[in-house]
A and B are shown apart, each in its own frame.
Chain A
């Protein structure tokens, strides 16, 4: 009887779980963005001091509940050598957040190449994409209007999937909220093609 009721309770409160990849070149602010997201959507979460965030080796994981769904973030390391690991995660993710360092004009073309390589993967077909022009708190950064044309060039690669480019500052938390809410709506719309991953409930 307890198992029956407990299982029923679990069944009632269970949320759809989706996985979101956070990608981008190294030093784009992926981990800082993840921290900002966790701070925004988790009550009583104390953010890590941004000065102490260093190069990600492997991956960072974050979990938030928003609009009745649970998002699992996989923040992967962006170093050149670690980029070869990205495609191992493509098949299981439900959305991708791609972060661009909009203060680094020298590497924006490299970022664009990496972005094209990522979206041309067949495992990511139809997955909603959120491109973030990060570091908007730096005075002489590129605005959305500069970054957008660069990433919009290959429309044939983007295809029919949902894509949005937004200006954010992971450090101050600007634009984090809107981005995540947009992404959740897209993921829900796309859940017919990519159904949520739900945990098995072990007795």
Chain B
């Protein structure tokens, strides 16, 4: 959607648009869980462990005592980088990266809470999620900033230029 706008040469509508924001949140959540599931599945195959949803949501699966736990942590970190690209593609606004990154991790917290039936208290879960949130936010901001700072082409853009 942002691509179409980019070519038409006008800035995005900056008024409050609840539909857009809600669908962006839904899209972010879906993309992130999809990529996380794929990454965790790959890691599980590599370490030869069984495929289970526990690896995504269970607090006690995050540990560094064996390869299985380390692989899951690695999958989360990779997923944060993918999340940065998702922010770039779906949100595309430097100012909103922190917001959407926190929203994703907040919803993940609620999902984990529901899955485990208890609020997360393990140090590893919090450290990992805060680190992943930071990576996702900063890398996403970097990517979006690069796009936003691009020069606005003035030639062959047609009459619909909005400066």
Q: Which residues of A contact B (CB under 8 A)?
A: 1-4, 7-8, 10-11, 200-203
Contact = CB atoms under 8 A, between A and B. Distances in A.
B14 A4 contact: no
Interface stretch (B15-23, B47-55, B59-67, B145-153): B15-23
Given A203-B95, A203-B96, A4 B15 contact: no
Contact of A1 (B14, B15, B16, B102): B102
A4 B18 contact: yes
Given A1-B99, A3-B99, A4-B22, 18 more contacts: A1-B102, A2-B103, A3-B16, A3-B21, A4-B21, A4-B25, A7-B18, A7-B21, A8-B16, A10-B16, A11-B16, A200-B14, A200-B15, A201-B14, A201-B15, A201-B16, A203-B93, A203-B95
A2 B99 contact: yes
A10 B92 CA distance: 23
B99 A8 contact: no
Interface string B83-105: 00000000001011001001100
Contacts of A202: 14
Nearest to A202: B14
B50 to A, nearest CB: 34
A7 B16 contact: yes
19 contacts: A1-B25, A1-B99, A1-B102, A1-B106, A2-B99, A2-B103, A3-B99, A4-B18, A4-B21, A7-B16, A7-B18, A8-B16, A8-B18, A11-B16, A201-B14, A203-B14, A203-B16, A203-B95, A203-B96
Contacts, number: 34
Number of chain B interface residues as a range: 10 to 19
Given A203-B95, A203-B96, A1 B18 contact: no
Contacts of A200: 14-15
Interface in B1-55: 14-16, 18, 21-22, 25
Interface of A is mostly: helix
Contacts of A7: 16, 18, 21
Q: Which of B14, B15, B22, B93 has the most CB of A within 10 A?
A: B15
A3 B96 contact: yes
B93 to A, nearest CB: 8
Nearest to A10: B16
B76 to A, nearest CB: 21
B21 to A, nearest CB: 5
Nearest to B96: A3
Q: Which of B14, B16, B22, B96 has the most CB of A within 10 A?
A: B16
A1 B95 contact: no
Nearest to B107: A1
Contacts of B95: 203
Interface in B67-85: none
Contacts of A4: 18, 21-22, 25
Contacts of B25: 1, 4
A18 B11 CA distance: 27
Contacts of B102: 1-2
A203 B18 CA distance: 13
Nearest to B106: A1
Q: Which of A2, A10, A11, A201 has the most CB of B within 10 A?
A: A2
